[in-house]
Structure 1
């Protein structure tokens, strides 16, 4: 059992926090987020804190992978690093001067495709490889964007993905997940925790696209690797809240004929704040549901039987559906 994923957590956490302290004056000057149609804040606030999360993740994962020979062979490891840096670069530019949505999408698709092609392992061996890879690219591209869409409230991204990365780190520590993705999960967990004190409500710093875009890519890769190792149901259950919120919101906006590429505040977690839920309750509820989903994902791995898998999937869908329905209705005082 390798302890590298566990060691990565405090190292990345300290590096992330230190980088934020060092970079915050620059972010305050050059990357100020002003309130818009999508914002939940009313005061201009510096964004771009995600640069520290991603830098800490890549630096610590790369540092700890080398001496232990953890990095996978072939092009997978350099493709992950390069694709992550490309999306971080796009996010950096977009945080300072917004790019056209079409250009962003093309670059994102290229980064996701490069990583999918380089990643070893098959999800559905009975499916033609070209079709499997095509579906994986589309799914990865959507995941990158939905993570960006769901980063619209203080601590929201942390509530969604700290449980996911903690779960994957734990899997690696017990030998149930490949060493390389487990190490990346631990480093990403540390990076998120290092960012947490600066983003707690009311946030003094936002993650920005420089963090949310590459974060979505890394988590998508982690879940794809989990799925290829026999954890398909777990890979679906783990991100189910952000996946359901973003996907249902997109479908309903399409149905209403809205321009889905424009800023909005239609996500369930955003509607919840309009319906009287305080930010702390929204993110606390999401965090609790994500912890519950991690438990259900773990059950599918501990007892890999069809009946258990179906029951866990049903419970996960019910739990997420309950929370979405709760957010969509006015808050009842005292509950």
Structure 2
């Protein structure tokens, strides 16, 4: 048992935030020299900006989160601690010299597969053959990792998504609904993102880069999968619902138009919002507020433990997401 888990979770977050901030300060001159993100068709920034702060975020998460998570044994998170650096390395190379699409997806799939297929056989979601379920989880995990990367195109956007999700996972862990390793990793990732936030607020001084967004996607996706394995599938869907729908709907729309969906673009709803007159802070603020609302719905789902309630809560969540997507897709009117 963990003595005073709430105090320990706070300590994890504070230590991760401090470590991340210090690492960013130390790394920034190096990133400025070797890892500049130059404006392209997808960018919201106007001048070259150093990227790669994800090294600090992921490093702080693994060091601090791993130290506290492993007090109950390192075995449950061993493959995660192999896969996350592997995915980070893929992202780092891609930040410096872009990797072709197919090799990039293969390498990402290997990393996600390590986490999915190494999980104990008794962790199940549906009464279907184990190999089929794990294959579907591999596909879903690969998509989740990439959608977090796709959505990391605006200052503080990933902070506005990651902090509410991880903070909620920590609360679930403190109430006994999530195992300690997942709770500790969530607390560390939440703290690390808070340590990164001051450097990424508009106008950002540094970006995460693929070295950050891809591993963050895997860490968040793993936490949500662990929550689903506890029987809380609706809650695991509600928490990232905005990201899921913005990224997925945008992908399907681009495929329907026969556009190269893998290429850089500015057609995500949050990007269209800035083109439609919404300030960056307004967009991020509204996404953050929506994520808080989704966290409340996920919490209600866990408290009620009812299939019927889960259905109703998912419909409410979908309605809230649809409202924001519609709002972002239209030019901002005066006073809105």
Q: TM over 0.5, yes or no?
A: yes
**SS across alignment from 2:5:** coil
The equivalent residue for 1:56 is: 60
> Any idea what the Cα deviations from partners look like across 1:121-161, whole Å, max 9, x if unmatched?
43335110001000000000000000000000000011111
CA distance in 2, matches of 1:188, 1:43: 28
Matches within 5 A, 1:22-41: 22-41=26-45
Contact 2:72 2:181 in 1 (8 A): no
Superposition deviation, residue 119 in structure 1: 2.0
The equivalent residue for 1:108 is: 108
* 1:156 counterpart = 2:157: yes
Name structure 1 gaps, 5 residues minimum. Answer: none
Superposition deviation, residue 19 in structure 1: 0.3
* 1:191 counterpart = 2:192: yes
The equivalent residue for 1:69 is: 72
Superposition deviation, residue 170 in structure 1: 1.2
Q: Structure 1's 125 and 264: CA in aligned 2 closer, same or farther, altered over 3 A?
A: closer
Contact 1:6 1:169 in 2 (8 A): no
CA distance in 1, matches of 2:9, 2:78: 19
Runs (4 or more) in structure 1 with deviation over 3 Å come to none
The equivalent residue for 2:236 is: 235
* 1:2 counterpart = 2:5: yes
The equivalent residue for 1:81 is: 81
CA distance in 1, matches of 2:9, 2:179: 11
Superposition deviation, residue 2 in structure 1: 2.5
Report the TM-score, using the length of structure 2 for normalisation. 0.96
CA distance in 1, matches of 2:184, 2:330: 40
> Any idea what the Cα deviations from partners look like across 1:223-249, whole Å, max 9, x if unmatched?
110000011000000000011000000
Superposition deviation, residue 103 in structure 1: 1.1
Q: How many residues align?
A: 331
Name structure 2 gaps, 5 residues minimum. Answer: none
CA distance in 2, matches of 1:238, 1:123: 20
CA distance in 2, matches of 1:203, 1:98: 22
Contact 1:5 1:185 in 2 (8 A): no
> Any idea what the Cα deviations from partners look like across 1:60-94, whole Å, max 9, x if unmatched?
0122234x3254x3xx4111001000010111111
The equivalent residue for 1:97 is: 97
Report the TM-score, using the length of structure 1 for normalisation. 0.97
Contact 2:144 2:218 in 1 (8 A): yes
Aligned Cα RMSD in Å?
Answer: 1.1
